[in-house]
């Protein structure tokens, strides 16, 4: 399996799409998810996103991501469950009650986050990093510095995760046991953040220097070698995402 958010080579429909269009579509899709509260519609969007991922042969990567997002959205869902006393009361709470409405709200939150996250993450799995940067610079007129910084940050996430794993492994080898309660795990991990931070700062610093000695400062919008023409598929995808957003807005207004 590919590392977290690392490009997976391929020739799927998504791989071949224009990088800027992919990014815009993913953002439109995410906005649509946050606009609507219709659980059925969200379910359709989520199914669509999963189908897209599986269709590109990225089922496993997406499953991993879905789990990570699920863990995060679960926290949100629990909070919603306990603080949204609507619908038929199911369980009485000291400060109100837990009702069918609370359940619906929690479910909606999970579906929404999952549906919004999948296409955004997919962009990074199906697009070479330099294509995202260069296309964003050429076609969206994002200043190169910002585009490069953004993609580099994403690129560094797996590096940092790897570092953290390495540091923990080294500690385990020295007899520190990371199993046990979450609190214990956190307490053991806190002191490791310092070496992680130091090594991250050093790495980002040397990355910046290496980029600079390879002419980073000379870069202009015209520098890019590749062109990123828009094809029919790109227009179709954009149209589809605009339609989805339109539907989400319509549902929000009428519903």
In the complex, which residues of this chain contact another protein (CB under 8 A)?
2-3, 6-9, 128-131, 134, 148, 152, 155, 159, 203-204, 206-207, 209-220, 222-226
Closest listed residue to residue 99, CA positions, set 76, 81, 123: 81
Nearer to another protein, 67 or 221 (CB): 221
Q: How far is the CB of 168 from another protein (least distance, A)?
A: 19
Q: How far apart are CA 152 and CA 97, in angstroms?
A: 46
DSSP for the chain reads: -PPTT------SHHHHS-HHHHHHHHHHHHHHHHH---HHHHHHHHHHHHHHHHHTT-HHHHHHHHHHHHHHHHHHHHHHHHH---SSEEEEETTEEEEHHHHHHHHHHHHHHHHHHHHHHHHHHHS-HHHHHHHHHHHS---HHHHHHHHHHHHHHHHHHHHHHHHHHHHHHTT----S-HHHHHHHHGGGHHHHHHHHHHHHHHHHHHHHTTTGGG--GGG--S-----HHHHHHHHHHHHHHHHHHHHHHH-
Nearer to another protein, 128 or 185 (CB): 128
Nearer to another protein, 45 or 129 (CB): 129
Q: How far is the CB of 3 from another protein (least distance, A)?
A: 6
Nearer to another protein, 185 or 203 (CB): 203
Q: How far is the CB of 219 from another protein (least distance, A)?
A: 5
Nearer to another protein, 56 or 116 (CB): 56
Q: How far is the CB of 186 from another protein (least distance, A)?
A: 28
Q: How far is the CB of 26 from another protein (least distance, A)?
A: 18
Nearer to another protein, 11 or 181 (CB): 11
In the chain, what is the greatest distance between 2 CA atoms, to the nearest angstrom? 65
Q: How far is the CB of 229 from another protein (least distance, A)?
A: 16
């Amino acid at each position: 399996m590919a590392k977290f958010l690392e490009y997976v080579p391929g020739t799927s429909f998504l791989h071949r799409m224009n990088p800027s269009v992919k990014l815009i579509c993913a953002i439109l899709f995410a906005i649509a998810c946050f606009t609507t509260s219709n659980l059925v519609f969200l379910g359709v969007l989520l199914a669509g996103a999963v189908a897209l991922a599986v269709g590109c042969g990225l089922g496993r990567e997406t499953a991993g991501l879905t789990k990570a997002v699920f863990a995060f959205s679960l926290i949100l869902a629990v909070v919603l469950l306990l603080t949204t006393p609507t619908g038929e009361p199911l369980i009485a709470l000291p400060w109100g009650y837990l009702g069918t409405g609370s359940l619906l709200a929690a479910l909606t939150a999970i579906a929404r986050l999952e549906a919004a996250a999948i296409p955004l993450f997919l962009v990074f799995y199906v697009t070479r990093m330099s294509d995202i940067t260069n296309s964003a610079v050429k076609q969206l007129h994002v200043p190169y510095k910002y585009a490069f910084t953004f993609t580099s940050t994403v690129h560094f996430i797996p590096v940092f995760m790897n570092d953290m794993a390495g540091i923990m492994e080294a500690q385990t080898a020295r007899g520190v046991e990371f199993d046990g309660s979450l609190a214990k795990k956190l307490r053991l991990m806190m002191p490791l953040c310092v070496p992680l931070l130091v090594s991250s700062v050093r790495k980002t610093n040397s990355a910046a220097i290496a980029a600079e000695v390879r002419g980073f400062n000379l870069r202009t919008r015209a520098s890019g070698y590749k062109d990123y023409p828009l094809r029919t598929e790109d227009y179709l995808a954009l149209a589809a995402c605009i339609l989805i957003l339109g539907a989400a807005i319509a549902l929000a207004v009428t519903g």
